[in-house]
Amino acid sequence: MDPRPQGVMMAPELTAAEKPPEKHLREAMPAPILETRKLSIFYGRNEAVKKVSMPVPERRITAIIGPSGCGKSTLLRAFNRMNEFIADVSMAGEVLYRGRNLYGKDVDPVEVRARIGMVFQKPNPFPKSIFQNVAWGPHINGLVPRRELPELVERSLNQAGLWGEVKDRLGESGLSLSGGQQQRLCIARALAMQPEIILMDEPASALDPVSTDRIEDLLFELRERYTIVIVTHNMQQAARVSDYTAFMDLGVMLEFGVTDQVFTRPREKRTEDYVTGRFG
């Protein structure tokens, strides 16, 4: 549970100060678990992502920031082949997962999505019970035998910081939860798949400040065990939670680096203007 007094949560500066930036400062960047090579993505003829090459360091949090429409979500969806459900999408370049091209002929997209989890901007729990929401993914993928599902569900809800709030109502509909709880349920659902990587597309943008805070706390707890890529519009959030930051503009990746560097000593003028709020 959250030890901090309720009133403090509304003030972002205080919250930021209270979270010790125990980041991996000045470390050598861990080997990337995921990497794009000259990745271009087109909607019809419109090139939404232009020759992006970026690493996603293992067991770190990488934030993707940039003005609206610059291609962040498109890039994120390329990491688990979710772009394939959009009509008229084509791509060039590669996405390497542990050195293997995710878009290779021998790769099954269903398997990719089973291994690389995703949390969406708007909480989208299934209209089923809380238990089933979490258990469904592992169940259909045969990750654990049926009798071990309850244990897995408890563990996942615990990791997502939701167990205490829902342990007496696992049979109730996932839709009966509040927005913030629903989003944590969706995170638990992704965690239950025991993925190595979790992709999050503005996971807190539809939430109130208190719920946002809880999600950020959660990211802190998850970062030691998972690789997380998070798209966010919230500069403070990117600065607070991420180890590495990628800045995109008009489909191009302008800058990638350690978060503190990107925010305090950006190499590009454009990045500086954006992170200091001069445009965007």
Partner 1 sequence: MTAGEWRGVPNLARRHWQSLWLRRLFQALTWLGVMLLAILLFRIARQGAVWLDWDFLTSFPSRFPARAGIKSALAGTLWLIGLTALISVPVGVAAAVYLEEFSRAGRLKTFIEVNIANLAGVPSIVYGILGLAIFVRGIGLGRSVLAGALTMSLLILPVIIIAAREAIKAVPQSLRQGAMALGATRWLTVRHHVLPGALPGIMTGVILALSRAIGETAPLIMIGALSYVAFVPEGPMDGFTALPIQIFNWTARPQQEFHGLAAGGIIVLLAVLLLMNAAAVAVRHRFQRRR
Ligand X SMILES: Nc1ncnc2c1ncn2[C@@H]1O[C@H](COP(=O)(O)OP(=O)(O)OP(=O)(O)O)[C@@H](O)[C@H]1O
Where does this chain touch Mg ion (CB under 5 A) — which range of 15-23, 65-73, 110-118, 123-131? 65-73
Task: Scan residues 100-119 and list those touching partner 1 (CB under 8 A).
Answer: 110-111, 113-115, 117-118
Q: Which residue has the tokens 């996603």?
A: 56
Q: Is 83 in the site for Mg ion (CB under 5 A)?
A: no
Residue 231 or 275 having the CB closest to partner 1: 231
Q: Is 186 in the site for partner 1 (CB under 8 A)?
A: yes
Q: Which residue has the tokens 């542990």?
A: 98
Q: Is 169 in the site for partner 1 (CB under 8 A)?
A: no
- Reading the block at residue 97, the tokens are 């997962």
| List of E strands, 113-209 | 116-119, 197-201
Where does this chain touch Mg ion (CB under 5 A) — which range of 67-75, 78-86, 177-185, 214-222? 67-75
Member of 101, 173, 205, 236 binding partner 1 (CB under 8 A): 173
- Reading the block at residue 161, the tokens are 């910081």
Q: What is the DSSP letter of 127?
A: S
Query: Kindly report the CA angle at 55 between 51 and 56, in degrees rounded to 5?
Result: 130
What is residue 226's three-state secondary structure? coil
- Distance, in Å, from the CA atom of 13 to the CA atom of 113, rounded to the nearest integer, reads 37
Write each residue from 50 to 89 as x if it is in contact with partner 1 (CB under 8 A), else as -, in one continuous string: ------------------------------x-x--x-x--
What is residue 78's three-state secondary structure? helix
Q: Is 170 in the site for partner 1 (CB under 8 A)?
A: no
Q: Is 73 in the site for Mg ion (CB under 5 A)?
A: yes
- Which residues are at the interface with Mg ion (CB under 5 A)? 73
